[in-house]
């Protein structure tokens, strides 16, 4: 538990939330700034800044809970699909520094546009970058 963490407060019940699911290691609640109708957040109960620091069992629990919720939002909210998103660092849009996964229902006509627009990459540059990761 981190004293000044918004999500730790939600986990502890000291900050109100609309919780929709929970396990012994993770909880899921509605995002109060939804990208689309039904946008959920899934967080491990234990504090970690992002998935790089998260305990493997906590991350597994959060991922499995998110997986079950993807099926629910598609089935019960008539979503056409879903995005599962983890933001790591402020440059990647992380605004609450507690590991979390966004479950974002997607609808054919929803207005959400992520800033990435895929275009063909330079294969030499792609291979050079891959070599740095090997």
Q: Are 120 and 30 in contact (CB under 8 A)?
A: no
Measuring CA to CA, which residue among 17, 9, 57 is closest to residue 40? 17
Given 39, 47, 98, 100, the catalytic residue = 100
Q: Are 69 and 85 in contact (CB under 8 A)?
A: no
Measuring CA to CA, which residue among 85, 24, 103 is closest to residue 58? 24
Query: Is the four-CA dihedral 30, 32, 33, 34 of positive or negative sign?
Result: positive
Query: Is the four-CA dihedral 127, 56, 2, 37 of positive or negative sign?
Result: positive
Longest dimension (CA), the chain: 52
In the residue annotation, 39 being an active-site residue is answered as no
Give catalytic residue positions: 100
């Amino acid at each position: 538990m981190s004293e000044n963490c918004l999500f730790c407060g939600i986990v502890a019940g000291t900050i109100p939330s609309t919780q929709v699911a929970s396990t012994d290691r993770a909880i899921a609640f509605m995002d109060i700034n939804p990208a689309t109708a039904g946008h959920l957040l899934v967080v491990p109960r234990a504090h970690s800044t992002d998935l790089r620091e998260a305990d493997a069992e906590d991350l597994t629990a959060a991922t499995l809970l998110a997986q079950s919720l993807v099926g629910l939002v598609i089935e019960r909210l008539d979503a056409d699909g879903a995005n599962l998103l983890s933001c790591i660092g402020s440059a990647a849009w992380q605004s609450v520094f507690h590991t979390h996964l966004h479950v974002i229902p997607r609808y054919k006509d929803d207005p959400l546009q992520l800033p990435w627009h895929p275009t063909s990459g330079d294969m030499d540059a792609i291979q050079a970058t891959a070599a740095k990761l090997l």
